[in-house]
Each structure stands twice: as structure tokens, then as C-alpha cells.
Amino acid sequence: MLWTTKVPYRGVVRWNDLFGDLEGQFASAVSQEFAVEVAELTVAERASVELAARLRAVGSDQVVVHLAGGSVLRGVVSDVTPTWILMREGRREHLVPLTAIAAVVGAPDRSLPWSEVERRLSLGHALRVLADAGVRVVIETQGSEFRGVISAVGADHCDVLPDSGSDRVSVPFSAVRRVTSA
């Protein structure tokens, strides 16, 4: 940056005026650099925020979740991990993998950090809880629904014993759009 003085030349330069002007220019430059740095840090911080961490901060506010395939859920987020959310919609609850979410309306700007335990909770953990409880569920995939009880949960899939009494169905986690209480 080229430092210039705004002190008019009158034959004798007053050193206090000269240094005062230089200090003012320096303070202005530092202020501008600080503003640029804050803006860059804000962008960098925002870039590290995950959608799930924002959904943790929703509280009791209602959100609208659009799922891949066109389903829309309106309700309150009651639990969140880095891989799934649990939503209440009236008396129904929906376990939704984050990979099945197409868009969210109502996510706040703020976010909440994860504990180490929360970071480790996978979709498999949540499905094992439902299987252990013997809860009747509806598992929605692209173009299909499976109603019944989750009988087993593997590393990347779950088995459903259909209400219809037909053969057990194995559903890969990657195909699950939502698991709803029946």
C-alpha cells in the first residue's frame, strides 16, 4: 500500500500531523483487512456446518422435509445423528436417513456440535432398537413399501417379516427412504 500524506505543505511540516495522518491510514488499512478476514472466516466456518447439525438446533419448531421420490413430511425433529433424523408427525414417527432427504424447509442458521457417542450412531443402531422392541413399521423405499416387524439388522441391511405372512424381505440401508411407525 502506498502511504500518502494529506497534510498540506506549508513550508514546515508538523510532525504530529504527519504521524497522526499515517496512523489514521494504518488504522483504516488494518480495519479493512480485519473485515476481509472476518468475512473469509465466516465463509469457511459456514462451509463446515452439516445439515444434521443444523437440524439438531431446530428445537420444537416444525420443519418440512422433502424426501427423494417426492414424499413430504411435516413435523418436529425429535432426534438427530450425523446419519439420520427422527421426526414426529402427529402420532406417527419417521426415521429418515439423511441420504434420503432432498430438501428441508425451516432449518435454522445455527448448529449444535456432536458428542463422540452421537457421531457413532448409525441407521443400523436405530433399526436394532426397533427390532428389539418388536415395533411394527412401514419401510418405504423407491416404489415399494414393506409393512411388518424388523426381525434382524445386518451391517448394511435389515430383514422385515411382512404382516402379510409372505417371505422375509431384506432391505438395503441405501434403499430406505423412511421407516414409519405402523
Q: Give the tens place of pLDDT for each residue, 79-113.
A: 999 999 999 999 999 999 999 999 999 999 888 88
Q: Which amino acid is at 182?
A: A
Element (H, E) at 104: strand 101-105
Say what the pTM is: 0.74
Q: Kindly list the domain boundaries of the chain, sorted by start residue.
A: 10-48, 51-181
What is the CATH class of 51-181?
mainly beta
Label the pairing between strands 92-97 and 84-89: antiparallel
Instruction: Quickly list H helices, the chain.
Output: 15-47, 51-56, 116-120, 123-133
Summarised one tens digit per residue, pLDDT across range 111-148 is 888 888 888 889 999 999 999 999 999 999 988 999 99
Query: For 38-87, how does the pLDDT look when each residue is reduced to its tens digit (9 = 90+)?
Result: 666 655 555 668 899 899 989 888 999 999 989 999 999 999 999 999 99
Better-predicted residue by pLDDT, 104 or 5: 104
User: What strand order describes the sheet that includes 157-162?
Assistant: 101-105, 62-67, 72-80, 84-89, 92-97, 178-181, 136-141, 144-153, 157-162, 169-172
| 3-state helix, strand and coil shares in percent for the chain, rounded to the nearest 5 | 35, 35, 30
Biggest CA-to-CA distance, the chain: 104
Q: Which residues contact 76 (CB under 8 A, 6 or more apart)?
A: 58, 60, 61, 62, 63, 87, 88
Cβ neighbours of residue 52 under 8 Å, at least 6 residues apart?
Answer: 80, 81, 82, 83, 85, 98
